[in-house]
Structure 1
Amino acid sequence: MSETRTVKLGDVCEQVEKVNPSNEFTNSFIYIDLSAVDNQKKIITGSKEISVNEAPSRARQLLKSGDVLVSTVRPNLNAVAIVPTELDNAIGSTGFSVLRADTQKIRNDYLFAWVNNPQFVQEMVKLATGASYPAVSDRIVKESLIPLPSLAEQQRIADKFRLERLIEQKRARQRELLSELEKSVFIEIFGNPFTNPKELPLIRLEEFGTLNRGVSKHRPRNAPELLGGKYPLIQTGDIANSDGLIRNYSSTYSEFGLSQSKIWPVGTLCITIAANIAKTGILTFEACFPDSIVGFSASPERVKYIQILFKFLQQEIEAFATQSAQKNINLKFLQGLMVPKPTEEMLIKFNRIMNKIFIK
C-alpha cells in the first residue's frame, strides 16, 4: 500500500473571490461573521440579513455552499462549519479562512473532518500570535499540511467522522437533559438561587472553599519546550467541552513545563475565567492548568453544589465579563461572589442524589 502524501491546504482549494457587497447586491445580503458559527455544534447558527449601506469592512468573501469556514481568531475554540445550501452566495467575514475544495483533488466533507482534527487545531494554536486576542492568518491556515489519500479513502474517513458527530450530538442531547435534571434537583433541595426562597445565608465564595488561580509563568505557544511530557495540561477548551467531569486532555507539560506550573489534585473544580467564561469541570485525574482557570477546592459535596450553582450563574457572570475591555473575569471577582450557604445535611442529600443520576 502506498504511503499517503501530505499537501498544503491551499494546494487543494480553489481561490475565493473578494467582493464589495454594494457591487453585488441591490439592497441587502446575508452576512456570516465570526459570531455566527457555533463552535460546539460546528454549524452556522447566526447568519443575518443586513443592508448594503451597513456592510462592515470585513464583509468581503463571496461564499458558496460546501465551503469550509475556519475562524482565524482564537483557534483553540475550533469554530468551523460548512456553508449549507441555503446560504449559497452569502458574504463571509475576512476573519474566516474559506476552504473551497478542488473536487478533483479533495472532498469538502473530508476537508471539514480534517479541520476538526486535534492535530490541525493544535498546530493552529501553536502558530497563533497575540496574547489577549490570539489569531492565525489565512496564509498560515492554507500553508498547513493535510494528509491526502485517495478520494475513496477520503469518503470513508468523512463517513466515519459524520457518524462520530452524530453519536456526539446524541450524547450532547443526553448531557443537556442531565443538566436540566441536575438543576431541577438543585432547586428542589436548595431553592432557586436567584430568589433564595429558603432564605439561606449568603457568603462569599472564598468562605465556602479555597480558590486559587492556575499557574503558568510562560505561555506554551511562546515556549514549545514546555510541552510534550507526561503531565496533563488542562486548558479552557477542555473544560468547556467536558460534560462536567474532565476525563480527557489535549496537551501535556514536560518537566520544564511542570517546573513553572502546579499540579492540582483529583476533585478540583476548574472554573474558566477567560475565553469561555464561568464554565466548570471536575478533575478526574491530577493535572496542571494556566492562569485562565481558577481551581476551587472543598469537600466533594461542596464542589458539586458550586458546580451546579454555576450552571445557573454562568450567563450572568459571562454578561459581566463582556462589559470589560477583554472577555474575562478575575480571581477577586470570584472570591467576592455571594452564594447561598446550605446546611451540611442539604449538601449530603444533594450529593447522594447526584451520585445516583450522574453518568460516571
Structure 2
Amino acid sequence: MELVNLKEIALQIRGVSYKQNDISAEIDRNKIILLKGNNIQGNKINWEDLIYVNENKVSDIQILKKGDLLLTSSSGSKNLLGKHVIYTGEVTATFGAFCKVVRPDKNKIFPKYLDCFFKSKRYRSHILKVTQGANINNLRNEDIDSIEIPFPSYGNQIRIAYLLEKIEATIAERKNAIGLLDEFVKANFYQMFGDPVKNEKEWSLFNGFEYANDIQVGVVIKPASHYVKDGVIALRSLNIKPNKIDLNDVVYFSEVANKTTLSKSILKKNDIVLVRTGNTGVAAIIPDELDGINCIDLIICRPKRELINSYYLVYLYNSERFQKVVENNEVGGVHKHLNVGVLKNINLPIPPINLQNQFADIAQKIESIRAEQEVQLKDLEELYASVSQKVFAGDIDLSQVPFDVSLLPNEHNPIETSEEEPKPDGVKQELLKEEIKKVTQPATKRKLNWENVSFKEVANYIQNEFNGYYFNAEMLLRYLKEDIGMVVNYFSSVEQKKKPQYENADDFYRFVTTAITGENSFLQLEQVFYNAETENIPNISFTETDLVNLAKKDKKERSGIYFRIKDEITTP
C-alpha cells in the first residue's frame, strides 16, 4: 500500500497562547471554550473542568472543525504525548498551546480513517520513537509531519474506518455489559441488605474483633530482600481491584522464606485482603486457586465463617458508603493509609448468615458469567488489533465491507470500488471473514437521544417488547439501541465517583434500578437469578430475537440476573 507523509494530506495548527487574565472558569459573550490536554480522555472529550478564553486571542483557523484531530503536544508524561480525539463539532471551541490540531484535507483523506490510524500501534510506535531520549516532553511539527500514513483509495479509507468502528462499538457494548453485571450485583446487595452505614434494616452490629478470627498486616519490613524470579506469589496494592485479584504484575517470595520468616502472612482461601496505602480500603477475596500465597503491606481479614460470608463482607468493604467511612478514618500525611486498629473498631451490620449465603450464590454466579465475558472482550480486543494491523498493511480484501457513497468528496465520484487496488496476495482472507461479518451489519434505524426521551416513553417501549417475557440488561440495551435506535446514557459507578453530578443522572442504570426498587412511576420490574444449568424458573420465556441470541450461548453464559415486568400476578 502507498505511504504518504502526514504533511501531504493534513494541516497542523498550533494552539492558542494566552495569559492568566485572558481566561476564566465562567463563559460570557466574549469568551469561547478552550480545550486542554486534560480534556482528552480515552479518545473522547471530557467536558468537565472547562476554561474559557477571550475570543480576541483566537484566530479563525484555531476554531475547531468537525473532523479535526485534537492531540496533546506537550505533557509532563511521555505516555500522554500524542493522545488524541476526533472532534465531532458539538460546540464552538478552540484549544490551548499544549495541544495541536491535525486538520485533514477531506478531499484527500477521510477524517475517521485518520482517526483510526491514530489509534493504531504504528502511530503509537512513531510517537514513542520521536520522543525517545528527549529531555522535554514535546511533539515538534516535524514529528507529526513525518508520520507515514498508509494511503488506500478514498473508498477503502471509508471501508476501513467503518470496519474498525464497528469492532470498537462491539467492544464498547461488551464493556458496558460487564459493567452492568458489576452494577447489578451491587444493586442486589443494597436491595437485600440496605445501606451498610445507615443500617436501616437494623442488623446486629459487630466490630472486627467479633466478626473476624484475625485482622493483621502483610509483610512490611524489607519485602524486596525476599524477592526471587519465580516462587510464591506476593500480592501488592496494585494487584487488588474491587472484588478482584489482578495478577498482571506480581512479585515472588522464595519458598523457604514463605514457609519460615514470612509464614505469618500466608493467605488462605476466602481471606479478604484490603489495600492499606493508596486506594485504601479496596478489597478482594482470595480464591481457591491462590490459597497459600503471600502479600506485602496489605490488611488481611480472616472472617468467622459461621458469622459472616466473605462475599458479603467484600462487597460491604467495597461499597461506596463504606469507602467514605474509610476515607474519614485514614491517617498519615501525604501518603494516607488505613490502620488495622481502625478497621477492627469499625462496627459493621451483619445480617443472618443464610441471607448472606443467598447473596454469595448470586455474586459467584455473576463472577462466573463476568469471567466468560471478559474472555470474549479479550478476544474482541485481539480481533481489533489484528484487523487494524492487517488493514493498514493492505492485507485484507475490503470488497465485502459496506460502503456509504455519500461520504465520498465530489472529486472522487464516480464511486470507487475496492478493485481499484490489487487484492492482497498470499493472505488467508477466510481467517477474518466470519469475524468481519459479525461487525459489518449496517445500522438503518433513526437515532433517538436518551436526553430527549422521557422515562414514560422508555417504559412504553419496554412494555411493548417485553411484556410477558424475561430479559436481562444486555437484551434490553440491545433492543433500545438496535431495534429502537436509541443512544442510551450509561454512567458507571467509577464515573459517578469521579463526577458526583452523575450520581442521580437519569441514565440507563438509574432507570432500571428505580424500576426494581419501586421508585419508577412508569415501570415496575421484578429481579430474579436464572440458572440455565438447573432450569430453576420453569417455563421461562423470551422474545423471538432473544431466543435466537441465547441459542448461540452455553448454559453458563445464559445464566444470570433477569427481569420481568410486574403485573397483577407477579407483583407481591
* TM-score, normalising length: structure 2: 0.40
- Which structure ranks higher in relative contact order (CA pairs < 8 Å, sequence separation ≥ 6)? 1
1:347 has 2:356 as partner: yes
Residue 332 of structure 1 corresponds to 339
Residue 35 of structure 2 corresponds to 32
Residue 183 of structure 1 corresponds to 186
Residue 45 of structure 1 corresponds to 46
Equivalent position to 2:94, from 84, 90, 93: 90
Residue 217 of structure 2 corresponds to 212
**Unpaired runs of 5+ in structure 2?**
55-61, 371-572
Could you tell me how far apart the structure 2 residues matched to 1:76 and 1:337 are? 42
- The worse-fitting range, judged by mean Cα deviation, of 177-186 and 156-165 is 156-165
Could you tell me how far apart the structure 2 residues matched to 1:348 and 1:278 are? 23
Residue 453 of structure 2 corresponds to none
Could you tell me how far apart the structure 1 residues matched to 2:359 and 2:184 are? 12
User: How far apart are 1:18 and its partner, in Å?
Assistant: 4.2
Alignment of 1:49-128 (within 5 A): 49-52=50-53, 65-69=68-72, 72=75, 80-84=83-87, 85-86=89-90, 89-92=93-96, 94=98, 100=102, 107-114=114-121
CA contact (8 A) 2:116 2:161 kept: yes
CA contact (8 A) 1:101 1:108 kept: no
Classify the secondary structure of the residue corresponding to 2:69. coil
Letter in 1 for 2:16: V
Could you tell me how far apart the structure 2 residues matched to 1:78 and 1:216 are? 38
User: How far apart are 1:271 and its partner, in Å?
Assistant: 4.6
- The worse-fitting range, judged by mean Cα deviation, of 329-338 and 196-205 is 329-338
Letter in 2 for 1:193: P
Cα 1:159/1:215, change in 2 over 3 Å: farther
Could you tell me how far apart the structure 2 residues matched to 1:263 and 1:77 are? 39
User: How far apart are 1:150 and its partner, in Å?
Assistant: 3.1
Alignment deviations for residues 185-208 of structure 1 (CA, whole Å, 9 cap, x no partner): 223432221310223304249964
Cα 1:79/1:151, change in 2 over 3 Å: closer
User: How far apart are 1:329 and its partner, in Å?
Assistant: 3.5
Could you tell me how far apart the structure 2 residues matched to 1:210 and 1:182 are? 26
Residue 132 of structure 1 corresponds to none
CA contact (8 A) 2:272 2:286 kept: yes
Alignment deviations for residues 279-310 of structure 1 (CA, whole Å, 9 cap, x no partner): 5555666588776xx35443697442233221
Classify the secondary structure of the residue corresponding to 2:90. helix
Residue 133 of structure 1 corresponds to none
CA contact (8 A) 1:214 1:295 kept: no
User: How far apart are 1:263 and its partner, in Å?
Assistant: 8.7
User: How far apart are 1:351 and its partner, in Å?
Assistant: 1.0
CA contact (8 A) 2:117 2:123 kept: no
Could you tell me how far apart the structure 1 residues matched to 2:83 and 2:169 are? 16
Could you tell me how far apart the structure 1 residues matched to 2:40 and 2:63 are? 17
Could you tell me how far apart the structure 1 residues matched to 2:330 and 2:194 are? 28
Could you tell me how far apart the structure 2 residues matched to 1:234 and 1:158 are? 41
Cα 1:200/1:143, change in 2 over 3 Å: farther
Letter in 1 for 2:302: A
Could you tell me how far apart the structure 2 residues matched to 1:34 and 1:255 are? 41
* TM-score, normalising length: structure 1: 0.57
Could you tell me how far apart the structure 1 residues matched to 2:276 and 2:251 are? 21
User: How far apart are 1:161 and its partner, in Å?
Assistant: 5.7
User: How far apart are 1:319 and its partner, in Å?
Assistant: 6.6
Residue 245 of structure 1 corresponds to 244
User: How far apart are 1:75 and its partner, in Å?
Assistant: 7.7
Cα 1:101/1:28, change in 2 over 3 Å: closer
User: How far apart are 1:28 and its partner, in Å?
Assistant: 1.9
Could you tell me how far apart the structure 2 residues matched to 1:192 and 1:89 are? 43
Residue 324 of structure 2 corresponds to 316
Q: Could you say what the CA RMSD is over the residues aligned between the two structures, in angstroms? A: 6.1
CA contact (8 A) 2:81 2:139 kept: no
Residue 222 of structure 1 corresponds to none
CA contact (8 A) 1:66 1:83 kept: yes
Could you tell me how far apart the structure 2 residues matched to 1:351 and 1:15 are? 56
Cα 1:346/1:45, change in 2 over 3 Å: same
User: How far apart are 1:69 and its partner, in Å?
Assistant: 4.1
Q: Whose strand proportion is higher, 1 or 2? A: 1
Letter in 1 for 2:30: N
- The worse-fitting range, judged by mean Cα deviation, of 180-189 and 231-240 is 231-240
Could you tell me how far apart the structure 1 residues matched to 2:74 and 2:237 are? 17
Residue 16 of structure 2 corresponds to 19
Could you tell me how far apart the structure 1 residues matched to 2:74 and 2:325 are? 25
Cα 1:48/1:62, change in 2 over 3 Å: farther
CA contact (8 A) 2:15 2:100 kept: no
Classify the secondary structure of the residue corresponding to 1:107. helix
**How many pairs does the alignment contain?**
317
Residue 203 of structure 1 corresponds to 207
CA contact (8 A) 1:68 1:81 kept: yes
Cα 1:21/1:281, change in 2 over 3 Å: farther
